Amino acid sequence: MGLLDGKTAVVTGAARGIGKAIALKFASEGANIAFTDLVIDENAKNTEKEIEALGVKAKGYASNAANFEDTAKVVGDIHNDFGRIDILVNNAGITRDGLMMRMSEQQWDMVINVNLKSAFNFVHACAPIMMRQKAGSIINMASVVGVHGNAGQANYAASKAGMIALAKSIAQELGSRGIRANAIAPGFIMTDMTASLSEEVKTEWAKKIPLRRGGSPEDVADVATFLASDLSSYVSGQVIQVDGGMNM
Ligand code: NAI
């Protein structure tokens, strides 16, 4: 028996990276998986097949999480296809790094829209379904830089701080309807997002991590599984750092 048997999870931006690891872990615990990404290309189709191979229903949907109408439509489609939504993981995210004084308005808007507005869009569309079911778990993917800030990432850090405050606010507003909301703040996790960082930056990060290694997407997926499942049924409004003990 799996921790998430009979539940349906929506994971945004899950064709690869942390989102994919979460989708696979949830599926291995019995959840049916609806995931989104900007395009459902060959890679996303392969992700869909890998999830299905775990014996659950899985479907990838092309949608831009930053777009309000797109999100309302895709959540409607998912609800029609799966019949329920028990877990929402707001995972889609991007970086457009730069020092504040050199940051363009476009860099700012893009990161805030993809990383933060996307979560508003999905909560707005999924919460009414969860409220009717009188239960739900919402997980916002934040970051340690959303807790501590980071030079060169003002847009990204602000978006991730927003994800934490959004989760805490939803927890307060919707707790009486049986809906829990929490945030995960990963540290340095080895994915495509961090692959482009310079060796110098990676070495600096590694020095700050007591466990002396970067995290894997699976390290984050394990914590997401705890927050999605009834193991955390009395946990809401929290932010859990998954960072190898690093305090920035
Ligand atoms: P990634 O770049 O490997 O994967 C992100 C996925 O989101 C991609 O499949 C991408 O196509 C999708 N995506 C981007 N924009 C989208 C949009 N508008 N609509 C739908 N999908 C979209 O990144 P990674 O590392 O897996 O990150 C996942 C989440 O974890 C992000 O929110 C990121 O900010 C967060 N995070 C990652 C850390 C790391 O060290 N890798 C650390 C802390 C947080």
pLDDT greater at residue 247 or residue 74: 74
Strand segments (E) across 55-206: 58-62, 87-90, 136-141, 179-186
Quick check: 207 pLDDT over 90? no
156 catalytic? Reply is: yes
25 DSSP 8-state letter: H
CA 86, CA 242: separation in Å to the nearest integer?
Answer: 23
- What is the atom index within ligand 1 of the atom nearest the CA of 95? 34
Answer yes or no: is pLDDT of 196 > 90: no
Domain boundaries, the chain: 8-239
Instruction: Report residue 197's pLDDT band, with 50, 70 and 90 as the boundaries.
Output: confident
> Picking from 117-126, 202-211, 232-241, which range would have the lowest pLDDT averaged per residue?
202-211
Pocket of ligand 1 (CB under 6 A): 12-13, 15-19, 36-38, 64-66, 91-94, 114, 141, 143, 186, 188-189, 191-194
| Residue 202: predicted pLDDT | 84
Backbone angles phi, psi at 178, to 5 degrees: 85, 10
Give me ligand 1 centre to Cα 130, in Å: 25
Q: Pick from 13, 27, 137, 33: which is nearest to 81 by CA?
A: 33
- Is the domain spanning 8-239 CATH 3.40.50.720? The answer is yes
Q: 187 with 244: CB under 8 angstroms?
A: yes
% of the chain with per-residue pLDDT over 70: 100
Given this model, what pLDDT does residue 248 score? 61
Over range 166-184, report the average pLDDT. Answer: 98
Q: Is the pLDDT confidence value at 43 over 90?
A: yes
pLDDT at 199: 87
pLDDT at residue 215 tops 90: yes
Strands of 87-90's sheet in order across? 58-62, 32-37, 8-11, 87-90, 136-141, 179-186, 239-242
What the block records as the tokens of 140 is 């916002």
* Catalytic hit among 156, 219, 242, 243: 156
- Give yes or no for residue 45 having a pLDDT over 80: yes
User: What is the model's pLDDT at position 151?
Assistant: 96
Check residue 1 and give its pLDDT.
Answer: 87
pLDDT tens for each residue of 125-158 = 999 999 999 999 999 999 999 999 999 999 999 9
Is 132 exposed, middle or buried, given 0-12, 13-18 or 19+ CB atoms closer than 10 A? exposed
The radius of gyration computed from the CA coordinates of the chain, to the nearest angstrom, equals 17
The full length of the chain comes to: 248
Q: How far is it, in rounded angstroms, from Cα 32 to Cα 241?
A: 26
Q: Are 111 and 159 in contact (CB under 8 A)?
A: yes
Could you give the percent of the chain with pLDDT greater than 90? 92
Task: For residues 185-214, give the mean pLDDT.
Answer: 90
For ligand 1, the distance from its centroid to the CA atom of residue 55, given in whole angstroms, is 26
* CA distance linking residue 65 with residue 91, whole number of Å: 10
d(CA 135, CA 175): 9
Model confidence, pTM = 0.98
Q: Which two structure tokens, joined as six digits, stand for 157?
A: 């850090």
Q: Which two tokens stand for residue 46?
A: 């392969």
Q: Compare 245 and 201 and report the one with higher pLDDT.
A: 245
